[in-house]
Structure 1
Amino acid sequence: MQAAIIKDIQLLSNPILDYFFICITMMGSSLFYFLALPLFYWCIDKRFGLKLGLVLLSSIYVNTVIKNVTMVQRPIGYPGIRSIFTQSAGGYSFPSGHAQGTTTFWGTMMFKYNKKITKILGVAAIILVSLSRLYLGVHWPVDIVGGILIALLVIIVAELVDSIIIEGKYDIKLIYKIILSLIVPLGLIILFPYNENFEYMALASGTMIGYFIDQHYFKFTVNNTVKGQIAKLIIGISIFAVILSTLKYLLPYTEIFNAFRYFIGGLWISIGAPLLFNKLKLNKKTL
């Protein structure tokens, strides 16, 4: 039945749709999020940028664990199924990381921005990215459904936790926040020590620590002109890419060193880049 659904969708295959769905599927990739998250953190809403990043990283963690536990094989190589752009299909099949990530991202956006346009864009993105994974022949239909349902559960838990944090009257010292930001991701890595979990939990840890330090000492603001915001993104993302690639070249390629690399990347996003923006006067509000 699942193979038949994919084959029916692929009856529409043609070169134009191939390129179209390859572009669409990139909207559910980590590259898209590495561009979108700094946009929110540096230019729109710092706290929501942090929240969006942590929810996504939590969703990726859950996705990685379930994939490695279930070990469902992809439809790649299945008789009669045409699989293209397979470089976007690493690891196991269930649940779909693209469908789950897209649902997590846009679902969180819809909670934050309860507007018609956000809902239209979000639903369209979820449907198109999910459909692209079937059209490209890299996921089974159950992978898509599973990814969407798991994302919804992650979003609900995240919103409940966030509401408790907002409503609670907590006065936690900076040192304890830093310790928690180290211990919780480390505990999650130890619990399920898969390669992706080393990277993304370390990224979450570095980002949280930088955020708490900034909130305590610097209170970076996002205000600027459109030109200034574009400058922030170009400078910040370029240096982020340089940090990851340089450390990858200098350090041994092991899980521990990969975690260190992403930890430094997280610190750059939440404290390094904002301090540089302050130095370059890119955080001034234009009157």
Structure 2
Amino acid sequence: MDQAAEIITMMGEDVIVISLMVVIFLAVDKKKGFVISIDLLASMLCMSTLKAIVRQPRPFLVIEGLDAKRVETATGYSFPSGHTTTSSSFYSAIAYNFRKKGLSIVCAILILLIGLSRMYLGVHWPLDVVCGWILGITITFALNDLLMKLFENERTTMLFTVISGSVTAIGGLIMSSLVTASLIDATAFSDFSKLLGISCGALFGFALEERFGRFSVDGIFREKFFRTIIGLLSMIFIRSGLKALFPENVFFDWLRYVILGIWTFGLYPIIGLKIKLFRPEIPQKTGSSNS
């Protein structure tokens, strides 16, 4: 049972979620992939804000003798559950955007089981999980259609990405610098800084792609497979390589995630177009940026 719970909880962890998100963005539907990404990042930013405000300790730090599992994934404070918020936002966004009955059922089951697994493993209180379910699903449903409409127009797309990217850049720069200088709580704000970094990078990256690239997800299976694999491998290389290269502090963690976001959503597609990994987007008469 312990092993099953650990496998289930991994479906809400960043490696799996980011990998699936990149597959959707690069090979399935660019616009929906980016909207799902923003749904997720918005949910996680709200979750991180609540964690920093409430600062609820985790069960295994309060209940003596509790044999918690997978505690290495339980960074930061407890309320609300990060895994539950992440999975609720991401999988509900997939179900909502693609609207296939079988896929929706699988997504609903994953959302439920990931939340339950966090309680079973002893890393979250029940209220953490319930709040994570509500937060992730509510924010996704509140934002999704608005974002889809907003990204139909090039001007509003650029305004949103540049303004939001600037806000998250300033916030992340200030927050990571304060944590590095030991002026604010590292437990509350270290992961928050990384999240602001990837958000900033993704927004600026997409703005670059829309301005200088505009790729299409079209192509035969082989094309989609290779562009996605190369994209994922390059992300791993950047994430691990910069971690080894940069000093170990929160500021450079923030910077590393900024670079990762810009690469994934901007520079990689732009370079990929130049070397024929991607096909160019065919302009539409309506001015829509759909892929």
TM-score (norm 1): 0.83
Q: Which residues in structure 2 correspond to 1:68-87 (within 5 Å)?
A: 68-76=52-60, 78-79=63-64, 81-87=66-72
Task: Provide the residue aligned with 1:230 in structure 2.
Answer: 225
Aligned-CA RMSD value: 2.5
Q: Does 1:278 align with 2:268?
A: no
Distance of 2:235 and 2:20 partners within structure 1:
14
Distance of 1:92 and 1:212 partners within structure 2:
33
- The number of residues matched between the two structures is 267
Unaligned runs of 5+ in 1: 1-16
Task: Provide the residue aligned with 1:161 in structure 2.
Answer: 146
Distance of 2:46 and 2:257 partners within structure 1:
18
Q: Which moved more, 1:104-113 or 1:242-251?
A: 242-251
User: Once the 2 structures are TM-superposed, how far is the Cα of residue 25 of structure 1 from its aligned partner?
Assistant: 0.3
Task: Provide the residue aligned with 1:185 in structure 2.
Answer: 168
Secondary structure of the 1:95 match is: coil
Letter in 1 for 2:209: D
User: Once the 2 structures are TM-superposed, how far is the Cα of residue 192 of structure 1 from its aligned partner?
Assistant: 6.4
Task: Provide the residue aligned with 1:4 in structure 2.
Answer: none
Secondary structure of the 1:238 match is: helix
Secondary structure of the 1:263 match is: helix
Q: CA separation of 1:48/1:88 partners in 2, compared to 1, >3 Å: closer, same or farther?
A: same
Q: Which moved more, 1:85-94 or 1:187-196?
A: 187-196
Secondary structure of the 1:126 match is: helix
Q: Which moved more, 1:246-255 or 1:186-195?
A: 186-195
Task: Provide the residue aligned with 1:14 in structure 2.
Answer: none
Asked whether the 8 Å contact 1:221–1:283 carries over to 2, the reply is: yes
Of residues 117, 136, 143, the one that matches 2:128 is 143
Distance of 1:142 and 1:245 partners within structure 2:
35
Of residues 92, 96, 100, the one that matches 1:115 is 100
Asked whether the 8 Å contact 1:224–1:282 carries over to 2, the reply is: no
Distance of 2:37 and 2:211 partners within structure 1:
20
Letter in 1 for 2:242: L
Unaligned runs of 5+ in 2: 177-188, 281-291
Q: CA separation of 1:223/1:276 partners in 2, compared to 1, >3 Å: closer, same or farther?
A: same
Q: Deviation per CA, 1:225-244, whole angstroms, max 9, x where unpaired?
A: 22222212221111111112
Q: Does 1:240 align with 2:224?
A: no
Secondary structure of the 1:84 match is: coil
Asked whether the 8 Å contact 1:248–1:261 carries over to 2, the reply is: yes
Q: Deviation per CA, 1:192-220, whole angstroms, max 9, x where unpaired?
A: 66222322222222222222222223211
Distance of 2:203 and 2:6 partners within structure 1:
33
Task: Provide the residue aligned with 1:131 in structure 2.
Answer: 116
Q: CA separation of 1:276/1:184 partners in 2, compared to 1, >3 Å: closer, same or farther?
A: same
Q: CA separation of 1:129/1:34 partners in 2, compared to 1, >3 Å: closer, same or farther?
A: same
Once the two structures are aligned, what percentage of the paired residues are identical?
Answer: 26
Secondary structure of the 1:76 match is: helix
Task: Provide the residue aligned with 1:8 in structure 2.
Answer: none
Secondary structure of the 1:171 match is: helix
